Every structure is written in structure tokens, then in C-alpha cells.
């Protein structure tokens, strides 16, 4: 027996020599902390209510769009615009949950790819096509496409487009299809989460380990990737030139480009939603079990203090720097670039806490950035 044992043992030792700190895997949740309670609080107090709120807002948008289609007036357009903004804000509270049902249909890509390819969008309208399915149509749909369709001019001018004798009907049909797809996707994800539907909530609450595929693993991967690629890069770093390859400002790449004044609010809403989720607070602000409690129970340290304090301070720093960017963002990219740079830097610090410190405290494996490099 001895010889094979030696062999197996040596190979096992080799196996543990991976890039992660080998001690990490040994950390076990303390008896006092039950991960399933954390997951249950997340799903039932935050994620599902947020998706429900989002769907409610989207249904209002759908209703407003349908009234506008029946009667394309300025007052009805104003209703569409305000419903669009409310739904877009509600979207910021669910955008980062790209795992499970949302990941199945890549909800974030279906809903919020920007900038919109206006040339292709116009082309589709000209052809009378409302086929906006498939990967290469992701940049002619979602909230950014709506932004172009309803906000790229004065109300009078927009209404004139929809009442145009040649293309008006095509435009109305296109608008309707974009809104319908947003609504269908919202509904589909909601149903899959619901205990009355796909019951993903049950699976989510039950995958209560810290191993690959555990809900905690998926959540931390999803949040980290979202902060990195969608909050830092998408909302700020790419338009500001920090995170694009030309290194120059790309004002046309801000979120909600045509509406103009709300890019920073959308980013703040998203950041706040991530922080609230981290704290485990529900949508009424009542504190529940969050990642903060878990990190505290693990005794996770950071420099002289606790990791939790460091993360909370970093959320605050990010918020301050975002608030310090004068509106509108697309102009600040040139007139106040340093302010945007600062916000990108603080977000970068937050990412490191999520990507390195939380995984080493919890034993969760970060897998999302895997890239084979060719």
C-alpha cells in the first residue's frame, strides 16, 4: 500500500501548489455563521424584490410605450421618457446579478449594451425589420436603443419622426419591439427566480458552500466582474479613456448618452445597490445578514483594521468621487477629466478588495477573468 500512497500523496501536494494561498481553502465558516441565512436574506429580501420592482417599472414603460404607439403625442412621449428613466434606474439595482437566470439569457447584454449602433438601427427601421434577436443585434436594443429612440431630440422633433408618413409606423413598431423584449426578459428572469415558477431561489439558497459553483462563489464572481467591467469600465473608464485602447475620451460611449444628464446618477444608483447588497439591507433600508457579517464572522483583517471596515470606507470613497464629477458626464470627460480619473481609481481599489481580499478571506475562487490568452 505504501508505494501508491506515497505517489498519491506527492501528487496531492503538487496539486495544492496553485496560485492561490493554500491556507485559503482551509478557512471554514464558523459555527456561528450560516451561509444559507445570508443567501436567503439576499434572495428573498434583496434580489427578488429588486427584480420585481424592475419588472413593475418595465411594465409601466411598456404601458406608456403602448399609449404612445396608439397616439404619438408629446404628452405621451413625456410619459415614455419618464417611465424609461424609472425603469433604467431600477435596472441599476439588478444589473449586477448576472448569474443563474440572468446569465442564462445574458440579461445584461440583452438590456444595456451601449453605445447603440444608430446606423444599423436606422437601417433596420428603414427595412421595416423588427428582428433584433441574436448576438449581433445586441447593440440596437435595450435601454440605450430606447434612449436614442426617445431622447435624441426635442419632444416636437421626436414626435414628428413617429408621425412621419413614410417611416413613422416602422419606428413605432421598432420602439414597441425593443420595449417588449426588455419586458419579456425581465419577466422571464423573474419567473425563473420565483418559488412559484422556476424556483431558482431554492437552488440559490441551497448551494451554501464556498466551493466552485456555490452561490457565494457565483455572487462574488458576478459582483466583482460587474464592478470591474460594467461600473468602472463601462460607465466611466471606457468613455474617459482610462480603459479603452485609444486612451482618448469617447463621449459617445457614456451610458444614457442622449438623455445626457443622468449618466452619473445611473452609476451612483448601481454603486449604491452593490453596497446595499454587500450590507444585506433590504430595499426599505433595513439591515439584514450581508457579506459584511460574514467577513466579520471570519475575522477577516485588512492592514491594521478589519476587511469589512476597509470595504465600507472604499464604497464611501467611490461614492464621494462619483458625486464630485460635474454633470453631464459626457462634458466632464474633457472639462473635468481629473475628477473622472479619480473615480476610476477609487473603483479600482474597490475591485482589488473584491477580487483579492474577499476571495482570500472566504476561500471563494475567482474564475471569471480566465482568459487563455490567445
Partner 1 sequence: MNKVIFSVLVMSVFVACEKKGCTDETAVNYTEFAKQDDGSCEYAEVISRGIEAPSTYKFERNGASTVSFSGQKERMDMLSEMVAYMKTANTPGTALDEAKMLNMYANENTPFIAAELNASSKQLKDKTASSDPLIIGEIENWIKEIASISDSTEVAKFEGKSGNSGVVQSGDKAYLVNKLGQEPTQIIEKGLMGAVFMHQISYVYLGAEKMNVDNDTIEEGQSYTKMEHHWDEAFGYLFGTVDFPAEGTDRFWGKYANGRNDLLASNTKLMNAFIAGRFAITQLDYAARDAQISIIRMELEKVCAATAIHYLSLAKKEISDDALRNHAISEAWAFLDNLKYAYEGKLTSAQIAEHKKTIGEDFYSISAANLTSVIDDLATTYGFESIKSQL
Sign of CA dihedral 180, 183, 189, 190: negative
Smallest CA-to-CA distance from 193 within 180, 205, 183, 184 is with: 205
> Least separation, in Å, of the C-beta of 277 and partner 1?
18
Among 198, 217, 239, 280, binds partner 1 (CB under 8 A): 217
> Least separation, in Å, of the C-beta of 58 and partner 1?
19
Contact track, partner 1, 236-275, x by CB under 8 A: --------xx------------------------------
Smaller CB separation from partner 1, 56 or 109: 109
> Least separation, in Å, of the C-beta of 121 and partner 1?
15
How long is the chain?
A: 374
Among 23, 284, 304, 372, binds partner 1 (CB under 8 A): 372
Judged by CB under 8 A, the number of residues near partner 1 is 51
Smallest CA-to-CA distance from 187 within 249, 258, 110 is with: 110
Interaction of residue 356 with partner 1, rule CB under 8 A:
no
Angle, helix 118-127 to helix 168-193, in steps of 10 degrees: 110
CA distance 347 to 280: 20
Interaction of residue 231 with partner 1, rule CB under 8 A:
no
Among 24, 103, 167, 250, binds partner 1 (CB under 8 A): 103
Cell of 19: 496560485
DSSP 113: -
Contact track, partner 1, 106-125, x by CB under 8 A: x--xx--x------------
Burial class (CB in 10 A: 0-12, 13-18, 19+), 141: buried
Only segment of 14-22, 72-80, 299-307, 341-349 that touches partner 1 (CB under 8 A): 14-22
Q: How far is CA 30 from its chain centroid?
A: 31
Burial class (CB in 10 A: 0-12, 13-18, 19+), 303: exposed
Angle, helix 142-151 to helix 74-91, in steps of 10 degrees: 150
Contact track, partner 1, 34-53, x by CB under 8 A: --------------------
Among 87, 124, 207, 223, binds partner 1 (CB under 8 A): 207
Smaller CB separation from partner 1, 72 or 241: 241
Smaller CB separation from partner 1, 74 or 104: 104
Cell of 2: 505504501
Smaller CB separation from partner 1, 38 or 65: 38
CA distance 216 to 282: 18
CA distance 281 to 364: 22
Interaction of residue 190 with partner 1, rule CB under 8 A:
no
| Element counts in the chain: helices (H) and strands (E) | 19, 2
Among 12, 32, 166, 338, binds partner 1 (CB under 8 A): 12
What does the binding site for partner 1 look like in residue numbers (CB under 8 A)? Answer: 1-12, 14-15, 18, 28, 99-100, 103-106, 109-110, 113, 133-139, 207, 209-214, 217-218, 221, 225, 244-245, 365, 367-368, 370-372
Amino acid at each position: 500500500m505504501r508505494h501508491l500512497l506515497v505517489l498519491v500523496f506527492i501528487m496531492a501536494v503538487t496539486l495544492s501548489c496553485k496560485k492561490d494561498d493554500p491556507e485559503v481553502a482551509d478557512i471554514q465558516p464558523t459555527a456561528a455563521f450560516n451561509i444559507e441565512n445570508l443567501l436567503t436574506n439576499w434572495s428573498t429580501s434583496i434580489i427578488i424584490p429588486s427584480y420585481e420592482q424592475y419588472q413593475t417599472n418595465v411594465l409601466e414603460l411598456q404601458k406608456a410605450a403602448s399609449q404612445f404607439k396608439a397616439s404619438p403625442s408629446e404628452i405621451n412621449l413625456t410619459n415614455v421618457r419618464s417611465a424609461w428613466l424609472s425603469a433604467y434606474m431600477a435596472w441599476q439595482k439588478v444589473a449586477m446579478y448576472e448569474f443563474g437566470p440572468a446569465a442564462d439569457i445574458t440579461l445584461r447584454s440583452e438590456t444595456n449594451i451601449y453605445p447603440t449602433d444608430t446606423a444599423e438601427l436606422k437601417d433596420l427601421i428603414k427595412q421595416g425589420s423588427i428582428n433584433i434577436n441574436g448576438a449581433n443585434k445586441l447593440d440596437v436594443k435595450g435601454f440605450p436603443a430606447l434612449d436614442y429612440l426617445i431622447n435624441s431630440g426635442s419632444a416636437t422633433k421626436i414626435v414628428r419622426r413617429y408621425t412621419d408618413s413614410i417611416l413613422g409606423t416602422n419606428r413605432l413598431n421598432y420602439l414597441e419591439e425593443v420595449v417588449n423584449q426588455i419586458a419579456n426578459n425581465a419577466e422571464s428572469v423573474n419567473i425563473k427566480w420565483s418559488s412559484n415558477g422556476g424556483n431558482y431561489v431554492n437552488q440559490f439558497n441551497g448551494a451554501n458552500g464556498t466551493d466552485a459553483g456555490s452561490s457565494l462563489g457565483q455572487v462574488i464572481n458576478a459582483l466583482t466582474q460587474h464592478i470591474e467591467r460594467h461600473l468602472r469600465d463601462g460607465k466611466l473608464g471606457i468613455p474617459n479613456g482610462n480603459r479603452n485602447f485609444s486612451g482618448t475620451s469617447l463621449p459617445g460611449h457614456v451610458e444614457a448618452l442622449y438623455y445626457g444628464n443622468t449618466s452619473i446618477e445611473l452609476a451612483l444608483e448601481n454603486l449604491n445597490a452593490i453596497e446595499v447588497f454587500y450590507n444585506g439591507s433590504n430595499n426599505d433600508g433595513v439591515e439584514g445578514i450581508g457579506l459584511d457579517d460574514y467577513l466579520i464572522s471570519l475575522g477577516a483583517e485588512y492592514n491594521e483594521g478589519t476587511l469589512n471596515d476597509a470595504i465600507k470606507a472604499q464604497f464611501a470613497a467611490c461614492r464621494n468621487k462619483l458625486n464630485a464629477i460635474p454633470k453631464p458626464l459626457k462634458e466632464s470627460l474633457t472639462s473635468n477629466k481629473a475628477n473622472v480619473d479619480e473615480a476610476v481609481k477609487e473603483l479600482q481599489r474597490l475591485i482589488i478588495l473584491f477580487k483579492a481580499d474577499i476571495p482570500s478571506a472566504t476561500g471563494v475562487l475567482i474564475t471569471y477573468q480566465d482568459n487563455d490568452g490567445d
